């Protein structure tokens, strides 16, 4: 007889870089997204849930002569024909949807979207290949009022989810102003301009002095490696530095500095006028620079966007796992991008929007204690007599019908200790016990597990005696007593 | 100069079999899933959101010697190593998660999950390759109380989302009873048994007479093709027929018929005892056969499950697009499967659960008019004077702060007709108008668009005159008047 090769057991693991979310983690994220959606909805934005899978052609990330799509997305070929891929963000699908439905959708089209996106990148600690995004965009409006609205909505959103005013700042910059600066420098197109753009992108990390060095001869970086500079003279580099450091004590001052930086550039002046319009519109609605400010040092995304750029930063400090204090940093960003739909239709369609980093914002709320935290688990009705399961089921039904989360123990009831361990693992506030004796006497035992745990931890013998954590009540009082105990602990 | 080949524009379409969901469709589904989640939560089930991507190995659908995974899932190979795939249901990931976290999870583990799954199947009308599932399962309990609980929870869920009692029935069968019948027939293993199982699966379609023919010589099917039968004699086929038609006027009668059908089979008797336990537990909680009944004619899934099998059917008629009345049919199904986790750990873990067909249930609710339907859109503040955008933004801010959904028109304001057309497309209840003249006089014009549309459609000239749909109010009364109009239409 041929020997049958035994199949090895599959590993019980998700693919590298993927993870699962349990119970409270799912609930907390849902709670936050629901609150965000309510704000977006109030602002007139409509939900859109696009397909998770797109054609690679529609995503537009790949060269036509590449046999297999580049890294960055998860893609596969269908029947030796089309390449399909998981969406890597929510903006590319929006462009496809808008191009597809442009005759049916209202113009401007305000839409929000929330859901997972996938990146085929090297996973690392805290870096996952599937994560949530939460976007709001206005397609089809060139008005700065659309940008101002997005910024105001972002401020409202942050406050609604639990970031108090003063703990965040939304900073606004404009790509056109930078273009004006580059124009003044005579760097309108070509490799030198791209080098300058790339250098500006490092401003967050290396600061003013670092950017000065990188625009000039070069810089010794922290690792000891020497990074070649762009090779501009000190004078040549000056407009870029002036731009990046033009933030003044108030908006008028900042705008004056920017005007000096862009000189006669038409594009530059246009960008400054846009920033001024946004600031005026926001001021009229009461969004002052304590919440939303013009800040030319915001460089993230300046290379990608075509007009205003926004970034929301949390300004409070958190303590990291090593006990060091650090600023929380960016939780959302966005800007105006006017070319996205053009790939499909040939017509440029103005668009502007933001994306919230869901996991980062959630982490911030947790760090500030703004999430509900570990909530009470269900009441557990224990099984003392397996033939009377119907009695126990009737108890949980009674509790549930009163809106109380409750369950009967469904494991092997033989070992009562296991039932209490289970209740503990479930974070149950209350265990209900009805043995044969109780049944006969028409009573139930109700164990206050929260109080029981506290007593077990801290109480002196006297307290332990004076603080009973188990009550015998008539069966008819089950609901009332359980309710009383839960109310006590939910309050605390 | 070399001619640059122009890239054709990408098609603005999702891949075949995929679709997008807009506004109300997203909101309606979310509303339904939120209600379902609330019931599951009250029953003590915990949310689980597992990774959308699994290793093909963990999904376990493919033979090891197949170079490329079979049809059925979307799969791709990572770096010439592991095959990854999109999950095709929520049960296979549950098995992986339970095996992975079994030492940390409570036992039994009650979990619910809702989210998209993907099937690499041929798309057709109304058949999509990405759709939602909504599951609840209890892992680690062999007790029939777990099965009874799932059935009760399913009944509560259907009523909570808006299917009234009497409009649904949950039917329960048991694979072990069928096994008992096959045992009595001497068909315990082998091809003949599989033939009988396949034939039973057609009971839904061909009925009792059809199954009789198919168990015997064969049958001329509707298309005119002759289907060969299993070849049993009339006597041999009798126990199967007796099993399928054993439903009596009440549970006791049905169980008595089943007892006759399984004779001395130990497995068969065990299955009947399980059905009896489920019925008793449900009766004790007040779930009678008007909601959940024992019905051996339920064959869907009998081949897959190992014990009790459940199916929820909607019993009301709907009218299809051709005006024909038809029963709505099944919206949820499930059962007990005791081998799922074994692949990973070597140990059999009892499990039981249901899956709700989200799109079917949503379609049923729509057919019954139980969804919110088309809701009012946002208030649209029109732009009469583009320099006063800040004034208009202040109006929408005022409305939003009062909880009213509102937006300013962000398109080109030149053509006022376009602004009203936009408001119409947005299903706006109210348009607000403030031109220079109104501004000077301190008033705003408020247009009741719902009433306006009604008048335009139906009114006589007299009514039209007596029912003004546009009001001039002091600017200070904007909020009050808008509120009044919205309240009027939301009530109606």
Residue B124 — very low, low, confident or very high, per pLDDT cuts 50/70/90? Answer: confident
- Measured CA to CA in angstroms, residue A120 lies from A33, A67, A94, B74, B112 at distances of 25, 17, 20, 16, 28
Q: Which member of A30, A64, A84 has the closest CB to residue B15?
A: A84
pLDDT in tens, A20-40: 999 999 999 999 999 999 999
Which of A62-66, A336-340, A469-473, B381-385 comes out lowest in average pLDDT?
Answer: A62-66
What pLDDT is recorded for position B492? 47
Tokens at residue A120, please? 């085929």
Our CA-based measurement puts residue B197 at a distance from the nearest CA of chain A, in whole angstroms, of 27
What is the pLDDT averaged over residues B100-122?
A: 94
Residue A436 has pLDDT above 70, yes or no: yes
What pLDDT is recorded for position B467? 67
pLDDT in tens, B176-218: 999 999 888 887 777 778 888 888 888 888 888 898 999 888 8
Residue B235 — very low, low, confident or very high, per pLDDT cuts 50/70/90? Answer: confident
Residue B324 — very low, low, confident or very high, per pLDDT cuts 50/70/90? Answer: confident
Q: Is A445's Cβ below 8 Å from some Cβ in B?
A: no
Question: By the 8 A CB rule, do A211 and A200 touch?
Answer: yes
Residue extent(s) of CATH 3.40.50.800 domains in chain B? 379-491
What pLDDT is recorded for position B237? 86
Residue A65 — very low, low, confident or very high, per pLDDT cuts 50/70/90? Answer: very low
Unique residue bearing structure tokens 């959103």: A157
Give the 3-state secondary structure of B430-464.
EEEECCHHHHHHCEEEEEEHHHHHHHHHHCCHHHH
Q: Is A137 annotated as a binding residue?
A: yes
Judging contacts by C-beta atoms under 8 Å, the chain A residues touching residue B400 are 42-43
- CB-based contact B152 A344, cutoff 8 Å: no
* CA dihedral (A150, A152, A155, A161) positive or negative: negative
What pLDDT is recorded for position B64? 44
Residue extent(s) of CATH 3.30.930.10 domains in chain A? 23-367
* Nearest-Cα residue of chain B relative to residue A7: B64
Q: Is B100's Cβ below 8 Å from some Cβ in A?
A: yes
pLDDT in tens, A218-237: 888 878 888 888 888 888 88
CA nearest neighbour of B246 among B268, B218, B214 = B268
- Measured CA to CA in angstroms, residue A113 lies from A210, A305, B65, B427 at distances of 38, 20, 41, 20
Cα-Cα-Cα-Cα torsion A97, A102, A103, A106, nearest 10 degrees, comes to: 100
Between A and B, how many CB-CB pairs are < 8 A? Answer: 269
What pLDDT is recorded for position B256? 95
Q: Is A108's Cβ below 8 Å from some Cβ in B?
A: yes
- CB-based contact B393 A74, cutoff 8 Å: no
Residue A62 has pLDDT above 60, yes or no: no
Architecture per CATH, A379-491: 3-Layer(aba) Sandwich (3.40)
Mean pLDDT (chain A) is: 89
pLDDT: is B275 or B182 the higher one? B275
Strands (E), A320-377: 325-336, 351-357
Architecture per CATH, A23-367: 2-Layer Sandwich (3.30)
Give me the interface pTM, i.e. the ipTM. Answer: 0.90
Instruction: State percent of chain A over pLDDT 90.
Output: 60
Residue B284 — very low, low, confident or very high, per pLDDT cuts 50/70/90? Answer: confident
What is the pLDDT averaged over residues A306-314?
A: 94
Q: Which member of B19, B86, B141 has the closest CB to residue A51?
A: B19
Residue A5 — very low, low, confident or very high, per pLDDT cuts 50/70/90? Answer: low
Q: Is A133 annotated as a binding residue?
A: yes
pLDDT in tens, A321-370: 777 777 788 999 999 998 888 989 999 999 999 999 999 999 889 888 87
pLDDT in tens, A443-452: 999 999 988 8
pLDDT: is B67 or B452 the higher one? B452
Our CA-based measurement puts residue B402 at a distance from the nearest CA of chain A, in whole angstroms, of 10
Residue B4 — very low, low, confident or very high, per pLDDT cuts 50/70/90? Answer: low
pLDDT in tens, B37-74: 999 999 999 999 999 999 998 987 654 445 555 568 89
Which of A285-289, B108-112, B195-199, B396-400 comes out lowest in average pLDDT?
Answer: B195-199
Asked if the B14-142+338-374 domain carries CATH number 3.30.930.10, the reply is yes
Residues in B 354-393 with any Cβ partner in A closer than 8 A: 377-378, 389-391, 393
């Amino acid at each position: 007889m041929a020997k049958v090769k035994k199949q090895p057991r599959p590993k019980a693991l998700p693919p590298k870089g993927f993870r699962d979310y349990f119970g409270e983690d799912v609930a907390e994220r849902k709670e936050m997204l629901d609150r965000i959606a309510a704000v977006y909805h109030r602002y007139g934005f409509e939900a859109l849930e696009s397909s998770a899978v797109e054609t690679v052609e529609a995503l537009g990330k790949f060269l036509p002569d590449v046999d297999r799509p580049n890294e960055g997305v998860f893609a596969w070929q269908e029947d030796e024909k089309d390449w399909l891929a998981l969406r890597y963000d929510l903006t590319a699908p929006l462009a496809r949807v808008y191009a597809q439905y442009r005759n049916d959708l209202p113009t401007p089209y305000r839409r929000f979207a929330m859901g997972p996106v996938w990146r085929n990148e090297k996973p690392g600690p805290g870096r996952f290949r599937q994560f949530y995004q939460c976007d709001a965009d206005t397609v089809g409006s060139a008005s700065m009022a659309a940008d101002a609205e997005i910024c105001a909505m972002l401020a409202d959103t942050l406050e609604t989810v639990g970031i108090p005013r003063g703990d965040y700042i939304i900073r606004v910059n404009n790509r056109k102003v930078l273009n004006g600066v580059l124009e003044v420098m005579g760097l309108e197109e070509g490799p030198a301009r791209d080098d300058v753009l790339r250098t500006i992108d490092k401003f967050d990390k290396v600061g003013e002095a670092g950017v000065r060095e990188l625009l000039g001869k070069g810089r010794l970086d922290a690792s000891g490696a020497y990074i070649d500079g762009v090779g501009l003279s000190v004078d040549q580099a000056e407009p870029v530095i002036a731009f990046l450091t033009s933030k003044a004590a108030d908006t008028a001052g900042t705008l004056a500095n920017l005007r000096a930086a862009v000189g006669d550039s038409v594009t530059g002046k246009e960008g400054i006028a846009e920033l001024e319009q946004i600031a005026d519109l926001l001021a009229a609605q009461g969004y002052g620079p304590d919440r939303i400010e013009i800040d030319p040092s915001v460089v993230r995304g300046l290379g990608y966007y075509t007009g205003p750029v926004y970034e929301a930063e949390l300004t409070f400090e958190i303590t990291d796992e090593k006990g060091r204090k650090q600023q929380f940093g960016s939780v959302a960003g966005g800007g105006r991008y006017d070319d996205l739909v053009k790939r499909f239709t040939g017509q440029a369609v103005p668009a502007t929007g933001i994306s919230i980093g869901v996991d980062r914002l959630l982490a911030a709320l947790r760090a500030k204690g703004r999430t509900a935290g570990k909530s009470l688990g269900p009441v557990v009705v224990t099984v003392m007599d397996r033939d009377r399961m119907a009695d126990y089921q009737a108890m949980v039904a009674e509790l549930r019908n009163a809106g109380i989360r409750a369950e009967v123990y469904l494991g092997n009831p033989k070992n009562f200790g296991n039932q209490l361990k289970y209740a503990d693992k479930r974070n149950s506030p209350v265990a209900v016990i009805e043995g044969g004796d109780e049944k006969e006497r028409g009573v139930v035992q109700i164990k206050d597990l929260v109080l029981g745990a506290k007593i077990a931890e801290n109480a002196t013998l006297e307290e332990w005696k004076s603080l009973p954590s188990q009550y015998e009540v008539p069966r008819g009082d089950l609901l009332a007593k359980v309710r009383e105990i839960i109310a006590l602990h939910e309050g605390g």
